[in-house]
């Protein structure tokens, strides 16, 4: 496929030479150098005129009023954009924000450009939504099984980000998700097989780099086998060194072989790698001993968000910043109190705990990355870049094609699917309606019903949520019994005895009494199928974004062949050692168009 106008590789550095960067470093003050280590969050959609509530938040957390003020005060190496920080209203707004903060950096003492960053994994983690192109997330792509699709999805995501002034994406997840109860990685991982995850990590890195975007392989040394969320606590990974080498290390080795620009550390304890029981982010044996010296990573190392509780349980926020640098980290991502972190590192240098030479090492890595991305030559974007690239017809069509190959059919009793308007014209779509990760797409039940209606069905949406009340269940049963031909339920991490389970159980009891058949579409993990044995058919969509729901609708309606294959094993809920649906499992049928 031809490259977009914004697409550019950064395999050959241009711009300032190493000697130029050395000279630049020599002119910087210690305060400016420490600023380069910071990747800050800011509140607001506008660099100089955010909403009053965002001004208040900026004053409280950063000691400034606006994003422009934050850049002028701290001279940070970069910023990270979040939806919850109100940075990402729409593509043109984000491009304007990017250009405006870059101008503040350009007008600074040395004109060092910012590295503007984002978590745009796609799937359930997306900060920018429609009209930007939404793409399947990692586990969905793993189910699709195509490295070419992974590469193309990353290229599309990358050229759109670059058009909005964003030059680094915190992806791919190189975690091998071998624990079905993992609450923080889950469908953000490509799967449970190290070789497959390695191949897809490589492809995603290639796609981002082809687009001129710096990828970041995360979360080193591997966050795939935990039942603890590092946002709220400090997980422990109990793999032996041998298990780590076999399960967790291969995707990171593959990432480094693919030339990944950045590696992100995890806030996890791995006793086999560091018996001191420090979070990996703060561990010299892990960051420097393994990642730098043993695996040979020469690029930038960034922490995961320092606002996460996992890294804050053992030390105060001031010590966390210093210990991360001592461990070998280059960038401090999203410190909760930037001024505290900034001053703590400065004090550590002045008191001899850190040397200025150590700071210089990290600053040079950061400056070289900015050079490789072409930021010294062109850090700005234009409205024309946005119009020509973001949400283009070609990108949207490619996203639909890729998503269509990820939908996984896990059950199809009696050959119920595909549905047809002639036999199942009236469809009720109900169930869980998790909020879109980008905040710009509609409720899943509404999106799925609308897609089915466009395909010739009369589809009605009824949001019952993840905790439907008895009254809601009764309403759903009444609707299902009112001449409906099929019921489709979106499910979200069902557990035995929860309210979603009660709803589906009641609906399948209706089926047994000559009621309509019940079909589930799991919109997060594929494990829901084992909790709902009474349903007639079950699909796994791996996310609730529009692109994956539209693909599920086409599969349900026989307009596309279900082609996805499980990238993770699905065990029995009563016996985790018994795999009911192995890796590679997936049913299929020919679409009506092919049959005709």
- Residues labelled as active-site residues: 231, 304
Of the candidates 122, 160, 162, which has an alpha carbon nearest to the alpha carbon of residue 139? Answer: 122
- Helices (H) then strands (E): counts for the chain: 21, 16
Cis peptide before 221 (omega within 30 of 0): yes
Q: Is the distance from CB of 516 to CB of 486 less than 8 angstroms?
A: yes
DSSP string, 359-374: HHHHHHHHHHHHHHTT
By the 10 Å C-beta count (0-12 exposed, 13-18 middle, 19+ buried), 590 is classed as exposed
Of the candidates 206, 195, 144, which has an alpha carbon nearest to the alpha carbon of residue 172? Answer: 206
Cα dihedral across residues 204, 206, 208, 211: positive or negative: negative
DSSP string, 154-168: HHHHHHHHHHTT--E
Determine the Cα–Cα distance for residues 99 and 379; give it in Å rounded to an integer.
Answer: 8
Ordered alpha helix ranges (H), 135-220: 138-144, 147-163, 194-210
Ordered alpha helix ranges (H), 351-464: 356-372, 383-389, 393-404, 444-454
Q: Is the distance from CB of 394 to CB of 152 less than 8 angstroms?
A: no
DSSP state of 375: T
3-state SS of 90-120 is CHHHHHHHHHHHHHHHHCCCCCCCCEEEECC
Could you tell me the strand order of the sheet in which 537-540 lies?
A: 408-412, 537-540, 518-522, 486-491, 426-431, 458-463
Determine the Cα–Cα distance for residues 146 and 508; give it in Å rounded to an integer.
Answer: 35
Largest Cα span, the chain: 80
The number of residues making up the chain comes to 596
Q: What share of the chain is helix, strand, coil (3-state, %, to 5)?
A: 40, 10, 45
Strand pairing of 570-571 and 579-581?
antiparallel
Determine the Cα–Cα distance for residues 406 and 395; give it in Å rounded to an integer.
Answer: 17
Q: Is the distance from CB of 507 to CB of 520 less than 8 angstroms?
A: no
Sequence-ordered list of residues with C-beta below 8 angstroms from that of 111, at least 6 positions apart, any chain: 105
E strand residue ranges, 469-555: 486-491, 518-522, 537-540
């Amino acid at each position: 496929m031809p490259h977009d106008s914004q697409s550019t590789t950064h395999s050959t550095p241009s711009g300032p030479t190493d000697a130029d960067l050395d000279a630049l470093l020599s002119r910087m003050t210690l305060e400016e150098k420490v600023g380069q280590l910071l990747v800050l969050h800011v509140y607001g959609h506008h660099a100089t005129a955010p909403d009053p509530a965002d001004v208040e938040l900026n004053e409280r957390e950063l000691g400034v009023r606006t994003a422009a003020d934050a850049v002028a005060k701290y001279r940070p190496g970069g910023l990270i954009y979040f939806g919850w920080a109100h940075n990402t209203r729409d593509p043109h707004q984000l491009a304007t924000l990017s250009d405006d903060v870059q101008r503040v950096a350009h007008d600074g003492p040395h004109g060092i450009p910012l590295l503007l960053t984002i978590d745009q994994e796609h799937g359930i983690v997306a900060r920018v939504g429609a009209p930007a192109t939404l793409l399947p997330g990692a586990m969905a792509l793993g189910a699709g099984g195509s490295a070419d699709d992974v590469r193309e999805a990353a290229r599309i995501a990358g050229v759109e980000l670059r058009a909005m002034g964003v030059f680094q994406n915190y992806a791919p997840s190189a975690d091998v998700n071998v624990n079905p109860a993992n609450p923080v990685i889950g469908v953000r991982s490509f799967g449970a097989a190290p070789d497959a995850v390695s191949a897809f990590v490589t492809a995603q890195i290639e796609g981002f780099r082809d687009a001129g975007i710096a990828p970041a392989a995360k979360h080193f040394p591997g966050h795939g086998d935990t039942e603890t969320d590092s946002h709220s606590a400090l997980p422990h990974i109990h793999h032996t060194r041998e298990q780590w080498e076999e399960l967790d290390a291969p995707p990171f080795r593959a990432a480094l072989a693919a030339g990944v620009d950045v590696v992100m550390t995890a806030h996890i304890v791995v006793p086999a790698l560091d018996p001191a029981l420090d979070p990996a982010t703060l561990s010299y044996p892990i960051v420097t001993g393994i990642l730098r010296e043993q695996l040979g990573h020469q690029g930038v190392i960034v922490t995961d968000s320092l606002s996460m509780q996992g890294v804050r349980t053992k030390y105060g926020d001031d010590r966390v910043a210093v210990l991360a640098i001592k461990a070998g980290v280059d960038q401090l991502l999203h410190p909760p109190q930037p001024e505290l972190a900034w001053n703590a590192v400065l004090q550590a240098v002045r008191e001899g705990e850190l040397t200025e030479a150590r700071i210089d090492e990290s600053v040079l890595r950061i400056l070289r990355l900015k050079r490789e991305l072409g930021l010294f030559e062109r850090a700005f974007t234009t409205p024309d870049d946005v119009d020509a690239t973001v949400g283009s017809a070609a990108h949207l069509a490619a996203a639909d094609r890729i998503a269509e190959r990820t939908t996984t059919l896990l059950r199809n009793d009696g050959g119920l699917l595909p549905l047809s308007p002639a036999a199942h014209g009236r469809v009720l779509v109900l169930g869980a309606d998790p909020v879109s990760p980008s905040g710009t797409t509609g409720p899943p039940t509404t999106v799925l019903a609308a897609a089915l209606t466009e395909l010739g069905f009369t589809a009605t949406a009824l949001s019952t949520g993840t905790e439907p009340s008895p009254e809601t269940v009764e309403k759903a049963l009444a609707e299902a019994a009112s001449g409906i031909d099929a019921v489709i339920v979106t499910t979200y991490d069902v557990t035995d005895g929860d309210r979603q389970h009660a709803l589906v159980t009641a609906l399948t009891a209706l089926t047994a009494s000559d009621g309509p058949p019940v079909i589930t579409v799991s919109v997060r993990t594929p494990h829901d199928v084992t909790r709902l044995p009474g349903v007639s058919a079950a699909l796994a969509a791996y996310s609730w974004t529009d692109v994956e729901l539209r693909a599920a609708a086409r599969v349900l309606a026989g307009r596309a062949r279900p082609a996805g294959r499980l990238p993770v094993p699905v065990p029995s809920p009563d016996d985790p050692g018994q795999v009911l649906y192995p890796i590679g499992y997936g049913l299929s049928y020919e679409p009506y168009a092919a049959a005709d």
